Amino acid sequence: MKVAPCYDDTFEVQQLKSRQRFAPPAPAVRKGDARVRGQTGVLSERRGSYPFIDFRLLNNTTLSGEIGTKKKVKRLLSFQRYFHASRLLRGIVPQASLYLLDEDYLGQARHMLSKVGMWDFDIFLFDRLTNGNSLVTLLCHLFNVHGLIHHFQLDMVTLHRFLVMVQEDYHSQNPYHNAVHAADVTQAMHCYLREPKLANFLTPSDVMLGLLAAAAHDVDHPGVNQPFLIKTKHHLASLYQNVSVLENHHWRSTIGMLRESRLLAHLPKEVTQDIEQQLGSLILATDINRQNEFLIRLKSHLDNQDLRLEDAQDRHFMLQIALKCADICNPCRLWDLSKQWSERVCEEFYRQGDLEQKFELEISPLCNQQKDTIPSIQIGFMTYIVEPLFERWAQFTGDTPLSENMLNHLRRNKAKWRSLLHKQHSSSRSNDHSGQVTGSQEQTYNEEETP
């Protein structure tokens, strides 16, 4: 059974055309921002469509010359990235990455891949061992392990090209939303797909969709959140009418890369259409603003015991839940790994706050380094976002060793953050923070980007 699209694409296209009809002439579209419409009617975005933050919109005239120069540089970089993609499509694969196809990995990387289903998998170490190619290496391995290459008759070289495109469209300058995060989410998704309660019903199509969505769920992320794009009047916010702006962009970018690489071109048209729509449904589910929507629905299913995983729609819903868990599983990792991720996401928040301060914008919640400490951010995130979701996931899986392990890590990590917060307060001799997250902060975590 096909999963219905989560939005009316025809309506979106009509609205976009209507806005264009009555809007003033738009500026010239950069090559990297060109959009492509396929036969399915889904608006996709060309690879390399980096969502450039045009600070000229902020009317800061003192920096106009500098901004103009930066925009020229960004245009050049966008073109270079698109040109590189074209070289890949012509079959010119960089020699440095060919070893991935021959499985000529370093001994330690090969050993790590043999334990890719373990929850203590260190993605940071794996990324170093693969010379920054953790996402490509991991996906090639998992597609082979799950038998997807054989089942869908995928060309290995074409698959590698597509995965390189995805990996390169993540921005390494982002402390958190980069290709290593995508690889970490993909590894977690692999673990969840092996949970017996789910694995016994999954089809090869379900597995491929889960892995692809995990790998591409944050592709081309600009390193700022949706509220920032809205208040700076970014073109993506306008295009998607301020609704799931980043998630829509990730989805459309993924579709663009699938079509450019022609990875699925040999499959029937109706199959590829269904894959594109289901990918969208999965990626859009990672929007943190929809957290309560999914939690309420999951709770209802579990309380009523009416999940029928033989049904494609119910399986797809649990894939959405699995992806949501994988996306925010950092607090459930070992402390050393979890702490690194916490520091990275907060650094990304603080960078946004610095930008907002520089351009005299109101600093977004969680982005003020002087007020929002890492321990307080993480405690609130765990309390209002992570714990409710993972407790329900454990209820679904039946308290498996993995679920119990994750919840144990979550509780221990939260206790450590509380201890660090207490030490901060003691050293500063301040009572500004009590270590308790207030009810008003719950809304903040439901409106902001996920830590």
Write the secondary structure of 168-227 as one string of H (helix), E (strand) and C (coil).
Answer: HCCCCCCCCCCHHHHHHHHHHHHHHHCCHHHHCCCCHHHHHHHHHHHHHCCCCCCCCCHH
Rg (CA), the chain: 22
Nearest to 48 by CA among 15, 12, 88, 90: 88
Please give the Cα distance from 60 to 54 (Å, whole number).
11
CA triple 193-198-203, angle to 5 deg: 75
Q: Look at residues 287, 280, 321 and name the one whose alpha carbon lies nearest to residue 302.
A: 321
Task: Label residues 369-408 b or e (16+ Cβ within 10 Å = b).
Answer: beebbbbbbbbbbbbbbbbbbbebbbebbeebebbeebbe
3-state helix, strand, coil in the chain (%, to 5): 65, 0, 35
Please give the DSSP secondary-structure letter assigned to residue 112. H
In the set 141, 146, 160, 177, the catalytic residue is 177
Quick one: tokens of 53? 């933050």
Residue 316 annotated in active site: no
Written as six digits, the tokens of 420 are 């660090």
In the DSSP assignment, the letter for residue 56 is G
Measure Cα distances from 167 to 105, 126, 161, 241 in Å. 18, 15, 10, 27
Rounded Cα gap, residues 118 and 72, in angstroms: 46
Catalytic residue positions, numbered = 177
